[in-house]
Structure 1
Amino acid sequence: MEFFNPELYALDNPELWVAVALALFFVILVVAGVFKMVGAQLDAKAAKIQSELDEAARLRAEAEALLKQIRAEKAEAEAQAAEMLRAAEADARVMETEAKAKLEETLARRQALAERRIAQAEAQASAEVKAAAADLASRAAEQILTARVSGQKSDPMLDAAIAQISARLN
């Protein structure tokens, strides 16, 4: 217990003057309000840190909300893309079916047209053959008639053949 030692309080003791100066220094600090200023500075610093923490929490909440919104938009976009893909596939199937139907229809029309042209060509060829046969028959008849008139002979087979030609031509 050095505090109760009488030598401590002797005026020539430097430790006494250091203690008095220290006590006086603390009194001056209290009177000047240094502790209040330091407390106010610490409170201001704490308030600033708290506001920064609050701001960081608010920004984090905004970022989480934005992330949630982006994920929802991504899911919606993926759903729309899948729906568009299904619609495009359905459209492609419909277009394929329509194209097949149109192709079959076109082929049927072309086949019918070709058959009509073939029938017309056959009819024309038949008409040309008939015309050539009629022309040949008429020339033969003319020659026969010319020969009959000049010889005045009658050939019964020739007469029957001429009758058959006129019946077959009609």
Structure 2
Amino acid sequence: MRITATLFALFAASPALAASGPFLSLKNTNFVVLISFLLFVGLIVALKVPGKIGEMLDKRAAGIKSDLDEARALREEAQTLLASYERKQKEVQDQAARIVEHAKAEAAAAADKAKEDLKGTIARRLQAAEEQIASAEAGAVKEVRDRAVAVAIAAARDVIAKQMTAADGNKLIDEAIAEVGDKLH
């Protein structure tokens, strides 16, 4: 029905109706063109060209639709991957921030421990230096006392030697022996 309406419209719009002389003659070019056109259209319809063109267009539309579906799927997959990578990047940045924070805390703790160790070392060195100073001072005092005792003994010997006679010396020796004897018993 569609084809009949189409042929009628083509025939009615034809300039063949405006030609002069007998229309149904092979000498009329309009008639020959009309016959040729109708044969061409009939041949196209007989070979089912419109159906084949429709099938080709349907296949093309299906191909385009599948390409669009594939493109949508790829786009969704790309968006999923992008979101995943953005999450991973944020996690890595957070982890890096935690590592830096932890490193700073460890560095501060190490610095505090080093300060405490340094204070302990300084205190031990000060204590050792004070002990050395006290020991040197005690040694110097002992040396001065020993020297003073030696000088006093030498002076006493000289004084006693000048003032003492042999009888006084013997008397002192006897008293010392008796005192030693009393202390031993």
Normalising by structure 2, report the TM-score: 0.73
Aligned to 1:31: 46
Is 1:70 paired with 2:85? yes
Q: 1-side partners of 2:125 and 2:23: how far apart?
A: 133
Is 1:21 paired with 2:36? yes
Describe the superposition over 1:30-53 as per-residue Cα deviations: whole angstroms up to 9, x where unpaired. Answer: 222222222222222222222221
Aligned to 2:114: 99
Give the number of equivalent residue pairs. 153
Is 1:123 paired with 2:130? no
Offset at 1:150? 5.3
SS at match of 1:9: coil
Aligned to 2:97: 82
Q: 1-side partners of 2:22 and 2:134: how far apart?
A: 150
Moved more, 32-41 or 18-27: 32-41
Q: 2-side partners of 1:119 and 1:132: how far apart?
A: 19
Normalising by structure 1, report the TM-score: 0.79
The amino acid that maps onto 2:137 is E
Offset at 1:119? 0.6
Q: 2-side partners of 1:141 and 1:33: how far apart?
A: 157
Offset at 1:125? 0.6
The amino acid that maps onto 2:29 is P
Describe the superposition over 1:59-114 as per-residue Cα deviations: whole angstroms up to 9, x where unpaired. Answer: 11111111111111122122112222221222222122211111111111111111
Describe the superposition over 1:14-41 as per-residue Cα deviations: whole angstroms up to 9, x where unpaired. Answer: 1111111111111111222222222222
Aligned-residue identity in percent: 34
Aligned to 1:164: none
The amino acid that maps onto 2:27 is D
SS at match of 2:164: helix
The amino acid that maps onto 1:24 is L
5+ residue gaps, structure 1, are 154-170
Is 1:108 paired with 2:123? yes
Residue among 42, 51, 56 paired with 2:66 = 51
Q: Which runs of 4+ in 1 moved over 4 A?
A: 1-6, 150-153
CA RMSD of aligned residues (A): 2.4
Offset at 1:3? 5.0
5+ residue gaps, structure 2, are 1-11, 169-185
Q: Which structure is higher in RCO with an 8 Å CA cutoff and minimum separation 6?
A: 1
Q: 2-side partners of 1:152 and 1:118: how far apart?
A: 50
